[in-house]
Amino acid sequence: MANKQNNRNRNNNENMTVEEAGRKGGEATSKNHDRDFYEEIGRKGGEATSKNHGHEFYQEIGRKGGEATAENHGEEFYEEIGRKGGEATSEKHDDDFYEEIGRKGGEARSKQRSNNSNGNQNRRNNNNN
């Protein structure tokens, strides 16, 4: 049984496993191609994937990726990426940007509170009937 498995892992050369051949091929390819080549094949692969999969596929792989990341990283990891993201954002935007997002956030929060109080009022009215 182990012999059959070992044979399956060998390529036609018989001296190298499929894994070894793949690694060598990848190394040779990387010597002959630049970043643009890999970006192009990545773009083509992404386009082909998007034609074959719907929104749910991307939700699922995103969820799985998030779970794997959470299992492999602790609180410090998330603090660090949050800090880096904040620094990158502050380098790209001025005070007007922060004023605008603050205003939008305040409006959204106010609307949320208003909806919650209306819901509570409606529940009180329904309970009195």
Is pLDDT at 9 greater than 70 in this prediction?
Answer: no
Q: What is the mean pLDDT of the chain?
A: 88
Q: How many CB atoms lie within 10 A of CB 20?
A: 14
C-alpha separations of 61 from 43, 56, 90 in Å: 18, 9, 30
Which one has a higher pLDDT value, 75 or 125? Answer: 75
Which one has a higher pLDDT value, 119 or 108? Answer: 108
Mean pLDDT over residues 17-39, rounded? Answer: 95
CB 25 within 8 A of CB 19: no
Which one has a higher pLDDT value, 50 or 7? Answer: 50
- Considering only 8-12, 58-62, 109-113, which range has the smallest mean pLDDT? 8-12
C-alpha separations of 116 from 21, 107, 108, 109 in Å: 62, 14, 12, 10
Q: What is the distance between the alpha carbons of residues 73 and 48, in angstroms, rounded to a whole number?
A: 31
Mean pLDDT over residues 41-58, rounded? Answer: 96
